[in-house]
Structures are given as C-alpha cells and as structure tokens.
Amino acid sequence: MRNSRAAGDSDVGGVPSPRARRRARLIARGVGTPRLQFALALLASGIAANAADLTIAITPRWRGAGIAVPSAALANDHGQSLRLTRVALLVSEVTLLRSDGGTLRLDGQFGLVDLGAGRREFTVRGVPAGDFVGLEFRVGVPRAANLGDPGRWSAGHALNPLVNGLHWSWQGGYVFAALEGHYRAAADAPEGAERGFSFHVANAPQLMAVGFRADWKITGDTTVHLTLDLARVLAAHRLAPGDGSESTHSGEGDTLAPRLAAALERAWFWLEATATPPGAVPAAKAGRESFGVPLPFSVPPGFPQPELPADNLPTAAGVALGEALFFDPRLSGNGTQSCASCHAPALAFSDSVALSRGAEGTLGARNAMPLLNLAWHPAFAWDGGRMRIRDQSLAAWISAAEMAANPATVTATLARDAGLAEKFRAAFGTPAITAERVTLALEQFLLVQVAADSRFDRALRGEAELSAEEKRGFELFMMESDPARGRMGADCFHCHGGALFSDFGFKNNGLDRESADPGHGEITLRATDRGKFKTPSLRNVALTAPYMHDGRFATLEAVIAHYDHGVQRAAALDPNLAKHPAAGLGLNAADQRALVAFLHTLTETRPRSGAPPPATQP
C-alpha cells in the first residue's frame, strides 16, 4: 500500500510548500478534532499495561527490485550509473491510528536506519494491543531534540552521535537523511570516471512526514514491514559536476534539499504487519562481573556518552596495574619492548616513525595509532578488526611483528614478582596473573586516557583566544567545498567533525588509485571496502607525525596538500571527496597555512606521563 499524502499547495517545480506540508500533516493527524483529545486521554490512562514492542523493518529497493547498500550499479532516468554507499535516516514521532478514530503517539522514542551498516529496523516500546488503520512517522527529529545537547543521549541511543554519525557537531543539529554514493555521467563512461554525490537533508523545513493507511493489529510484539524505493528519490535527479547537483547541506536558499525531502516522503510502501518471531531480539549475554569500586568517569563537555565495558569498569587499582604493565618490557617475548615503546605518552601514545619495529626487529605493516579517547571508539586498529581494547592489546602482544610474546610464558615470568602479584590482587581480588587479566588491566588504563583540554577546548570555554589565522583555519575546516554555491572550504568536518574530531568510520581517502593494503576490506571481505581505513582523531595531531595508515606524510602541510590537490580517484573513494573538482579544492597558500595553524590548537596543554587526569577534571 502506498504512503498516502494529503493534497496541498505547491511551489515552483511541484514541491509542496512548507505551509502546505504542515497543513497536510495536521489534517492527517486530526489536530483540532476529537481524535487529538482521545489520543491525550489514551496516553494519560496508562492503558499500555500489557505493552508490546513494535519493530519497523525497512527493505531498500530500486524501481521495485530489492537492493543492497552498498549497491551494485543502478541506472537513473538520464542514462547515468549510480552506486549507493550510504543510506541513513533518523526517525521520530511514530504515531498509530486506531480503528475507533483514536490516535496513539509514541513521542520521545527515536529510531536509526543505516542500511549500509546493516541497521534495517528500529523498535518502539510500550505499544498497547489493538486494531489499527494507519501508521505515521517522521524522518528527522523535532526541534527540541535537534537543537539540544547531543551529549545527553545514553550510550547506544539512536541520537547518540557515536551511534548515528549524523550530528553536525559545532554547526548544531542532525542530518535527517544522508544519501551518498558514486556516479558516472554516462552509463558507458570509462573506469575511473566516477564522481561522488553527497546529499545531507536536514533542518526544520525538511522534517519529513511519512504515512500509511492499512488495516493491521497488535496482539503482541509486532513487526511492520516497509519498503523504501530509492529510485523515487534519486532516479529523476540528473547529476553533473559544478552545478550544485552533486551535494546538498540543506543551507538557506538551497532548493535541492526540499526537493529531496518531498521525494523521500513519497518513496515508502507498506508490505505487511506480522508477529515478531520469538528470539528475534537476542538476549543479553552474561559476562564476568567488574571487580572493585569504579572510578568516576567524567565525560568532557560536548563529548557524547561512551559505552564503557560493563565487565571491566576502570578502578583505581586496575588503572594503576594497567599503567605498570603498559611500561613493563617483560610483556614482550624477549623482554626488550613495552607497549610504550611504540606508543609514547609524550607523542599522544603514538610513535615518531612511519612503521615501528617489533621486539624481534620486524618492521610493522602500519603506523602506530595514538591511544587517546579510546573509550569512545567503536572498533580498534586501522582496519577495525578488533571490537574491544583488550582484544587489540592481545593481538599486539602475540603478533610476531610487534611484541612477539607467548602469553603463557610471560605470565609465568610475571608470577614470580610478588609485588606485581599484590597489584593483581588489588585489581581483581586474587593474586593470580593470567593473560586475560593482563589485557583487562591494559584496557582499564587506556580507557581513562582522555584528551579534552587543548587550547581549542579552552577557547570554546572562553578561557583562551584563537588568533585570526587559527579562526580562519577552523572556518575552513567546518566549511564544505561547494563551488556552485560559493563555498570554498576544506570539507574536513565530514570525517573529522565533533568534539572527538573523528567519525570513526572506515574511509578511502584517495591515497592510491589501487591500494596495496586491503584495510577494512580484509575484515569485511567486500571489494567496496578495499583501501578503507579508520578515520583517526585529530586531537593532538601535531604530536602524532608521520600520518596515514602507512606513515607516508611527514608533516601536516603534506597532509593538507594531499587533500587539496593529491587525492587519487580510487573506486572506493569516499563520496565526500569524490564530489570535489578533479583539480582539487584550490586552497591558496594562506588558507593551507591557516588549516595547519588550527590543527595545532588541538594539542593538549597537559604533559602526559601515562597517568590519567584527576577525576574532577572536565
């Protein structure tokens, strides 16, 4: 059943005006009628004593045929070939229309759909049983949530920026819908002729209303199956370089964003409502209990809430043990190298060489990443192959190219140290020294290494002042490159926006046309992920040279030059880079210097010896 829309006035091009769209939504929801009064009474009555979970599952399609994201080549109406790499939406204000004319609004609950990440459904809770004749929701979030502090949302919440990757950081607000990918101007264009498109639909005028009329019922946990036909959003849109058709950031006067929003409203179709199969939501796994009294974990202003490991919350004894082990060369196979040998505190826990040598002298394959703010990282290493700090610690410990250790041999050696055994007793309750406990202690120590007190942070707090050049660098950092709309920025914020200065995604940033290192593709086994690497944080970036996964750039100036005019058009190049002109960004020398100056403001002012900051420090 197609999504139904109320008739309304249209402006130029057949796009409904904001006034007409608002009026249509109000009519559909029965504002000013007894339906509204019934809805309020229903919510106040506590009728949902036997409440169910309602899951909304979404299947992407193109002209009615199912597709995956990332997608294969898709043909639009103009003979162009498109490949979708990202389709992500925020959903709010789910509303159920009852058969007796009542309306049940489930306000305050939000959903995230990220088709490329495998998130094809979201669940709202507290839904009473009953017979229904319709379903409505919004793509986007209401004003209070959109302009509120994103740091208030708990770990795992759909509006937590770490979860959705759709928050515009200092610019404020969320992207309601992100559609990104590659295209060829003609379907038969040669290999390497692809460009990128990046559509970020946002801001209050683009808050979208989706509605269905269908007879369905809830008797228990229920799943509503919908399809989203992306051809109805993108197929009629002709893409071309230099005319503003390749991107939108929903700025004032941008006519593309409202057209895409209107098309997205009409792209949904109802399939069916079914009982949710038992066990569709996996039960939480029981794990070990964290030992000791956890340390206070202070989330700095502007940072999102992290998801700390419930089975290994940092304690004073655990952190102290982890620090001792981090600097202990006995952890290596030959007793010559500690973790700090390649992750020096003075260098933001990174190394000063492109590729570090392991305990046996073997040259590593990738640059040693800095180890700060790991509590916010969803995955670890350049390829994202480890999901927990403890797992990454173990991988480095046993790697022949790194510490080259046999954990059983190392722990037997450590067990002969009575003083160390007492530290294990304080941290874990008994003096037993095991490989698992070693990695847990290292995890606790690294979890509390928080970087949040740079000169840039102090300027945000009004405690310092940036120079005119540094302010210009920040302006360029946060401005998209969109020559068609007169915006000539550096476009850094797409990957490095927000207080953490990273989206922690996996991106191909055009280092090579063909990457010798498979990167994230080695983990996912997808050709579309070849040459993608984790976005590093730019905090303390002036201390962490050389740069990139292979350390190929010795200076920040070389990094800026790469993004300005050195990007190679790899097949998997991130769309936000692929949409830039072939000649590059065209930043002048002064602007390149300003960017470097701004990046230097991200250096922490507190010298690091390895010890965590005081618990009271923001």
Rounded Cα distance, 177 and 162, in Å: 16
Give the pLDDT of residue 186: 78
CA dihedral 375, 381, 382, 386 (to 10 degrees): -100
Report the alpha-carbon distance of residue 25 to residue 110 in Å, rounded. 19
> Tens of pLDDT along 18-56?
434 443 443 344 333 334 333 433 443 344 457 899 999
Look at residue 609 in the predicted model and tell me its pLDDT: 67
Specify the pLDDT at position 275.
Answer: 96
Residues 521-566: pLDDT tens digits? 999 999 999 999 999 999 999 999 999 999 999 999 999 999 999 9
What are the structure tokens assigned to 558, written together? 């070389």
| Residues β-bridged to residue 86 | 180
Q: Residues near 350 by Cβ (< 8 Å), separated by ≥ 6? A: 343, 344, 367, 368, 369, 370, 371, 543, 544
SS3 399: coil
Which pLDDT value is given to residue 7? 30
Measured between alpha carbons, how far is 494 from 475 in angstroms, rounded to an integer? 14
Selection from 546, 582, 555 nearest residue 192 by Cα? 582
Query: 348 and 354 in contact (C-beta within 8 Å)?
Result: no
Measured over the CA atoms of residue 236, residue 239, residue 240 and residue 243, the dihedral's sign is: positive
Task: Specify the pTM.
Answer: 0.87
Is the separation of the CB atoms in 216 and 197 below 8 Å? no
C-alpha 267/C-alpha 75 separation (Å) is: 17
The neighbour count for residue 296, using CB atoms within 10 Å, is: 8
Q: How many other β-carbons are positioned within 10 Å of the β-carbon of residue 360?
A: 15
- The position carrying tokens 């507290």 is 126
Ramachandran region of residue 498, left (φ > 0), alpha (ψ -120 to 50) or beta?
Answer: left
DSSP-derived 3-state class of residue 416: coil
Looking at 79-215, list the stretches that DSSP marks H as alpha helix, in order from N- to C-terminal side. 143-147, 161-164
Predicted pLDDT at 105: 95
**Can you tell me the distance from the alpha carbon of 550 to that of 369, in angstroms, rounded to the nearest whole number?**
10
Task: Look at residues 477, 554, 548, 558 and name the one whose alpha carbon lies nearest to residue 507.
Answer: 548
Mean pLDDT in order along the chain per 10 residues (618 residues)? 37 37 40 38 45 96 97 96 97 97 95 97 95 98 95 96 93 95 81 87 97 96 98 97 94 94 98 89 60 93 96 97 98 97 96 97 97 97 97 97 97 97 98 98 98 96 97 96 91 94 97 96 94 98 98 98 96 95 93 98 82 46
Token pair, residue 89, equals 């939406």
DSSP annotation string for 46-74: T-GGG-EEEEEEEEEEETTEE--SS---E
Separation between Cα atoms, residue 503 and residue 493, nearest integer Å: 9
Q: From residue 327, how far is each of 145, 413, 447 by CA, in Å?
A: 44, 16, 16
Q: Which residues are bridge partners to 182 per DSSP?
A: 83, 196
pLDDT of amino acid 618:
33
Tracing tokens 């040598």 back to the chain, one arrives at 357
What tokens were used for 57? Answer: 């599952």
Residue whose C-alpha is closest to residue 506's, from 490, 492, 489, 519: 519
pLDDT for the residue 36: 38
Q: For residues 473 and 157, give the distance between their C-alpha atoms in angstroms, rounded to a whole number.
A: 33
